[in-house]
Amino acid sequence: MKKPEILVFDVNETMLDLRALQPHFERLFGDKRVMGEWFGLMLRLSLVATVTRTYRPFAALGRDALVTTARKQGLELDTAVQDDILGTMLRLPPYPDVIPALTRLRDAGYRLVTLTNSAPAAQASQLAHAGLTDFFECQFSVEAVQLFKPAPEAYHFVADQLGVPINHMRLIAAHDWDVTGAIRAGATAAFVARPGMILGGTAEIPDIIGPDLLAVAGQLLP
C-alpha cells in the first residue's frame, strides 16, 4: 500500500481569516485596506531577515511593521493599542471551508501537519482558538531553523523531523511565494486561491489549484 502523502498546511490566510483584523485598521486609520499594507510589510521584513540571516520572531516583525505603517499614516500607536491589534492575531477565525476540508482529508488517511512563520506558542494559541489543533499530528514553526519561509531549510526541516523524503510532502498555502519555495525545495504544493490571492508570473505553478480548501481537498481525494 502506498504511504499516505503528508499535507503541510500554512496557517495565516490559508486556514485563518485575517479579515478579523480589519475593524481595528478601519477604526484607527479610517481605511481597512491599511491592514494589507501592514501585513505585506511584515512579510517583507521576514524576507529581509532571512536573506541577511538576522532572525527575529514573527510577532516582533509584526509590531515593527505596525509602528511603521502607522507612522506612514501620521499616527503614533501606544503599546496598548499595538497589543490589542497583535493580540487579535491569536484569535483569528478559520475560514468556513477549513474544518470540513480537514475532516475529509484526515478521514481519507492523509497525515496533516502545519508549518508557519509564527512562533510555536503563537501557533498553538491560534489553532486552539480556531478549533483546529486535533487535526494535526505536528505543528512546525520556522523558529526551529530561524529562517522564514520560503527559505528551503524550513521545508526540509519538516521532512527531516517526519523522517520522510521531501517529495512525500505537499505544502498547501494561499501565498504564491510559499508555494514557490516549497516546490523549489523539492516538495509538491497546492495553491488556495482565496480572494485577492493570485499566482504571480514568476511563481511556480502547482498541479493543484482551488478557490478554497474544500476545492483543494476534492482534487486530492479519489
Query: What was the pLDDT predicted at 2?
Result: 46
Co-location of 51 and 140 in the same domain: no
CATH number reported for the structural domain that contains residue 116 in this entry: 3.40.50.1000
Task: Give every residue of the chain whose pLDDT is below 50, as ranges.
Answer: 1-3
Exposed, middle or buried: residue 67 (CB in 10 Å: 0-12, 13-18, 19+)? middle
Co-location of 111 and 67 in the same domain: no
Co-location of 171 and 206 in the same domain: yes
CATH number reported for the structural domain that contains residue 76 in this entry: 1.10.150.240
Query: What was the pLDDT predicted at 32?
Result: 80
Co-location of 195 and 176 in the same domain: yes
Co-location of 72 and 36 in the same domain: yes
Spatial CA neighbour of 6 closest among 111, 95, 157: 111
Query: What was the pLDDT predicted at 137?
Result: 97
Domain stop point among 58, 89, 120? 89
Residue 48 lies in a domain: yes
Q: Which three cell numbers stand for residue 5?
A: 502523502
Quick check: 124 and 133 in contact, CB under 8 A?
yes
Sheet with 111-116, strands from edge to edge, namely 138-141, 111-116, 6-9, 169-173, 188-192, 208-210
Residue 131 lies in a domain: yes
Co-location of 188 and 209 in the same domain: yes
Query: What was the pLDDT predicted at 5?
Result: 87
Query: What was the pLDDT predicted at 33?
Result: 85
Co-location of 129 and 200 in the same domain: yes
Residue recorded with cell 489549484: 209
Residue 1 lies in a domain: no
Co-location of 113 and 154 in the same domain: yes
Q: Which amino acid is at 101?
A: A
Q: Read off the DSSP letter of residue 196.
A: T
Query: Which residues are registered as beta bridge partners of 115?
Result: 140
Q: Which amino acid is at 192?
A: V
- Which residue range forms the structural domain that includes residue 108? 6-17+92-220
Longest dimension (CA), the chain: 61
Co-location of 190 and 206 in the same domain: yes
Domain stop point among 35, 60, 89? 89
Exposed, middle or buried: residue 183 (CB in 10 Å: 0-12, 13-18, 19+)? buried
Co-location of 11 and 23 in the same domain: no
Residue 111 lies in a domain: yes
**Continuous H helices in the chain:** 22-29, 34-51, 58-72, 79-88, 98-107, 120-130, 152-162, 176-185, 213-220
Residue recorded with cell 486552539: 128
Structurally, how many domains does the chain consist of? 2
Query: What was the pLDDT predicted at 128?
Result: 98
Co-location of 72 and 136 in the same domain: no
